Amino acid sequence: MQPLERIRAVAVPMPESDINTDQIVPGRFMHKPREDYGRYCFHDLRFDPQGKPRPAFVLNRPAYAGARILVAGPNFGCGSSREHAVFTLNDYGFRVVLAPSFGDIFFNNCFQNGVLPAVLPAEFAAALQAQLRATPGAEVEVDLAGQAVVAPDGTRCSFPIDTFRKERLLQGHDELDLTLSLRPYIDAFEARQRPLLPSTDTPRHP
């Protein structure tokens, strides 16, 4: 994973409640190998049945091109447990999702894949979305180290995050990286245990 400490980028307002994982990535794409899953991001909302972009959908508006922060409505990422939803957002370019609340499994999957899901007070999230709609292409700053979000107008809001998960995002470490960092301790434990284990050369009794 790429480390995440501070990001200032174009932010996209998506204030609707209960956006689910099937909307983020339709199930028919989940058998595909993970090669640029970003092409499937909000596929059926971005494109009509003929594959043409829907001009009214927020991600198709030129002002939001290259956005890396998504400001969502309550209960974002609800629905099925598909981890592909986070793959899709990450591959599209989103490193941060801000919302008043998240689907539990989606929230946990974000940390496994280098995406920060930051929970904001509903009032601040609504004000932030209003600013982004009023000034398309406006930038938001997210400071993970300082646990704060700075709106385009300069207002600031803190957000909570588990210390262990925060450190993993700051360092760009997933669970495999964490396990490998403990390799010397694992090797030492196995070396201590080896003499205590039954020898495989011991003959079996009939």
Digit-coded pLDDT (tens) for 61-77: 999 999 999 999 999 99
pLDDT of res. 204: 52
Spatial separation of the C-alpha atoms in residues 30 and 123, rounded to whole Å: 35
Q: Tens digit of pLDDT for each residue in 129-139?
A: 999 999 999 99
Structural domain includes residue 126: yes
Contact 70, 11 (CB under 8 A): yes
Q: What is the pLDDT of residue 81?
A: 86
**Position 192 in a domain:** no
Q: Is residue 184, in this structure, part of any structural domain at all?
A: no
Does the structure show a pLDDT above 90 at 179?
no
Domain containing residue 83: 6-171
Residue that wins the pLDDT comparison between 22 and 36:
22
Q: What is the pLDDT of residue 185?
A: 63
155 in a structural domain: yes
Rounded CA gap, 43 and 25, in Å?
A: 7
The first and second tokens of residue 65, run together, are 């091109």
Q: Tell me, what's the pLDDT at 34?
A: 79
Label residue 206 by pLDDT band (50, 70, 90): low
Tell me the C-alpha distance between 39 and 25, whole Å: 10
Within a domain: 176: no
Helix or strand (DSSP H, E) at 17: none
Number of domains in the chain: 1
Tokens (6 digits) for 66: 């290259």
Q: Is residue 186 part of a domain?
A: no
- 111: domain CATH number? 3.20.19.10
Structure token digits, residue 19: 């956006």
Question: Smallest Cα–Cα separation from 152: which of 177, 134, 170, 175?
Answer: 134
**Rounded Cα–Cα distance for residues 169 and 178 (Å):** 12
**Is residue 183 a part of any domain in this protein?**
no
pLDDT (0 to 100) of residue 95: 97
The two tokens of residue 164 are 């262990």
Assess if residue 199 is contained within a domain.
Answer: no
CB burial readout 168-194, b (16+ within 10 A) else e: bbeeebeeeeeeeeeeeeeeeeeeeee
Q: Give the confidence band of 198 by pLDDT, cuts at 50, 70, 90.
A: confident
Average pLDDT over residues 172-177: 70
